[in-house]
Amino acid sequence: MTVRIQREPFDPAAEVKALIGRRTDIGAVVTFTGICRGADDGKPVAAMTLEHYPGMAEAEIERHVVEAQARWPLMGVTVIHRHGRMVPGDDIVLVVTMSSHRGDAFAAAEFLMDYLKTRAPFWKKEEGPEEAGWVTAKADDDAAAARWAAAGTATGSQD
């Protein structure tokens, strides 16, 4: 497991390559990249600043990676979350999951993102053309995370 919180940009392709290494038993790699949008609910966003809770951010993401590893037969996981100021088009978050089969890799990546959005201690402040404001948490994100609590291990062949 690799979990990093950093200000610097990341390179998804390099992270995937590093995670696979020389292994030949990997059948599926899923990567999710979250990107800073230029508008939120129709309002233009000039930039955003991501604040985080150092220490807890890493610990909370690691706890969810451990849970993902218990639910699905994963062969590797990388999560990178940036903090600081970002402009539209900048990468914010990367999740990479590796498994023998795509179902497990897809499910684990979605699980990690759903939990990351609602449980990892990060807060976005958006800068519009004139004013800045904290982003409000979305009920949809809570619902997306909650479905995993009921679902248990939802997918996939274990062979």
**125 contacts another protein (rule: CB under 8 A):** yes
Cα angle: 69, vertex 4, 98; to 5 degrees: 35
Q: Which is nearer to another protein, 34 or 44 (CB)?
A: 34
Q: How many CB atoms lie within 10 A of CB 59?
A: 12
Segment lying near another protein (by CB under 8 A), choices 7-15, 65-73, 122-130, 146-154: 122-130
Can you tell me which of 136, 140, 152, 159 binds another protein, judged by CB under 8 A? 136
Shortest CA distance to 48 belongs to which of 19, 94, 91, 18?
91
Please, which residue, 12 or 34, has the CB nearer to another protein?
34
Identity of the amino acid at 33? T
Stretch 91-120 residues interacting with another protein (CB under 8 A): 92-93, 113, 116-120
Q: Which is nearer to another protein, 75 or 124 (CB)?
A: 124
**Residue 56 touches another protein, criterion: CB under 8 A:** yes
Among 19, 29, 36, 60, binds another protein (CB under 8 A): 60
Per the CB < 8 A criterion, the answer to whether 85 and 49 are in contact is: yes
Residue 79: CA count within 13 A, CB half-sphere: 26
- The widest CA-to-CA distance across the chain, in whole angstroms, is 55
What are the tokens at 27?
């059948």
Q: Which residues bind another protein (CB under 8 A)?
A: 34, 50-53, 55-56, 59-60, 81, 92-93, 113, 116-125, 134-137, 141
